[in-house]
Amino acid sequence: MPPLAAWIERQAAISAERMARAISATSLVFHRPGFGQTVRPAPGSILASPETELAGGPDYFFHWLRDAAAVMEAIRLLAGGADGAAWVARFEDCVRFSLALGRLGGRDLLARGDIRANVTPDFLKFVRPDAEIAALEGEAVLGDVRYGADGTLDIVKWSRPQHDGAALEALVALRFWGDGRSSSSAARAELAALIRRDLDYTARHAAEPCVDIWEEELGAHYYPRHVALAALEAGADWCAADGDEARAAACRDGAARLLPALDAFWSDALGFYRSRIAVPESPKALDMSVILALLHAGRTRGPHGLADPRTAATFNRIKAHFAAHYPLNRERGLPFALGRYPGDRYFDGGAWYLCSFAAAEFEYRRAALGGGQLAVAHGDAILDAVRAFVPESGALSEQFHPETGAQLSARNLTWSYAAFITAWHARAAAPRP
């Protein structure tokens, strides 16, 4: 087996190449026979998985707004390296595609004909009601979670609404703006339009109940509110610099409401930030989504920042749970295989590559904030252990089995590759001897 550093560089190159396959995958065609659909991805779309043959896995041939934003962050980081111009072009295509999604309308879709005309009888129960489709007008479209990769509204019933997509997309777009890598004034104008649209949506809806990041429960959740806080804080500064004081004030007001609301997610009795506020206490309270929120938001100091001691306490509790419950971790004496939350049953409750990579990234990011070489060593130990369950091809599924390490669920999950890229980038920025 090659040295860890060599494997990491090779896996980063593979992850970038595999991720690129899912972006603007216009050469692919996906058939969804139960719904009578033939889908050809549009330029700028980001497939959650580009697999056209499911082989027992879930259908992820969609563009999720939140997942796409997480991938766009990896695109942004790659735009600063080799082949940067190509990654800039991809990012700008994604911006253009998302702007077009915001112009969709449910009434227009219904006016074009019966959305059930080609649906087989046994799939009719999975089609959304016409009234729900008709309500998708204006900014409501941004809470619709996922879209056809061809740039159409999704007619399939799903867990809606979700408010984190626009917030994370705004935050990533603001970072790209700060990088100053737009290829033209027209591309910069489109980027600004996306930022304003997403900030407006976030300011108006971030405090409302929505479905969690795992798309399972409606309620008050830590992840969407945390990324919204970071987006509104950054957006307020951006709008003020642009002379847009009204929008800046709306962002500041929204952020001022969200910060104390986030404090309520801490539990003295439990000793960690809960992923959701529920009565009675949810068994999903201890959840890796809290760590993902911290990483995606990128806030460093103060409450709810990466250096917050309560953040470390939450991370340690998550690691302790999976150290005790996953055989792979017990065998190696290291909590490297991390899942979503205790009691997860989705595809046998496997470890998620993106959760394990997030744990490594968390260590590297804390090292950069003064956590020292021990944190870097912890991050390296996680990646070193995970690589034993990555095939020679470098292919990453959604999950791997917590006992055997066999890959589970969707093959070639685009977010898994993006999570490796962000961990790799954080490692490069961490202090070394």
Is the pLDDT confidence value at 249 over 90? yes
Read off the amino acid at residue 279: V
Q: Per-residue pLDDT averaged across 131-145, rounded? A: 96
* Mean per-residue pLDDT, 236-256: 97
How far apart, in Å, are the Cα atoms of 426 and each of 355, 379, 391? 15, 10, 23
Question: Who has greater pLDDT, 386 or 301?
Answer: 386
> Which residues, in sequence order, are bridge partners of residue 63?
147
pLDDT tens digits, one per residue of 35-75 = 999 999 999 999 999 999 998 899 999 999 999 999 999 99
| 254: CB partners within 8 A, 6+ apart | 202, 203, 204, 206, 207, 228, 232
Q: How far apart (Å, rounded) are the C-alpha atoms in residues 328 and 405?
A: 8
Q: Is the pLDDT of residue 433 over 70?
A: no
DSSP string, 192-206: HHHHHHHHHHHHHHT
What is the rounded distance in angstroms from the CA atom of residue 9 to the CA atom of residue 421? 10
Cα angle 294-299-302, degrees, rounded to a multiple of 5? 105
Q: What 3-state class would DSSP assign to 351?
A: strand
The answer to whether residue 301 scores a pLDDT higher than 90 is no
* Cβ neighbours of residue 381 closer than 8 Å, sequence gap 6 or more: 334, 336
Q: Which of 23, 34, 66, 85 is nearest to 292 (CA)?
A: 66
Which residues neighbour 186 within 8 Å (Cβ) at sequence distance 6 or greater?
Answer: none
Judged by phi (left if over 0) then psi (alpha if -120 to 50, else beta), residue 127 lies in beta
pLDDT bin (cut points 50, 70, 90) of residue 191 is very high
Work out the pLDDT band at 170, boundaries 50, 70, 90.
very high
pTM of structure: 0.97
Chain-wide mean pLDDT for the chain?
96
* Confidence at residue 366, expressed as pLDDT on a 0 to 100 scale: 95
Strand spans (E) along 45-117: 62-64
Per-residue pLDDT tens over the stretch 328-359: 999 999 999 999 999 999 998 999 999 999 99
Q: Are 34 and 123 in contact (CB under 8 A)?
A: yes
Q: Which domains does the chain have, with CATH numbers?
A: 1-158 (no CATH), 163-264 (no CATH), 266-433 (1.50.10.10)
* Eight-class DSSP state of 7: H
What confidence score (pLDDT) does residue 1 get?
A: 58
8 A C-beta contact, residue 118 and residue 35: yes
What is the residue type of 227?
V
Q: Which long-range contacts (CB under 8 A, 24 or more apart) does 17-22 make?
A: 18/394, 18/395, 18/396, 18/412, 18/414, 18/417, 19/71, 19/74, 19/75, 19/414, 19/417, 19/418, 19/421, 20/90, 21/50, 21/412, 22/46, 22/47, 22/48, 22/49, 22/50, 22/71, 22/412, 22/414
Whole-angstrom Cα distance, residue 237 to residue 228?
14
The letter for the amino acid at 39 is V
Categorize the per-residue pLDDT at 201 as very low, low, confident or very high, splitting at 50, 70 and 90. Answer: very high
Res 4: pLDDT: 96
The C-alpha R_g of the chain, in whole angstroms, comes to 21
Q: What is the mean pLDDT of residues 196-221?
A: 97
* Average pLDDT over every residue of 247-265: 96
pLDDT band at 391 (very low <50, low <70, confident <90, very high): very high
Span 236-241, average pLDDT? 98
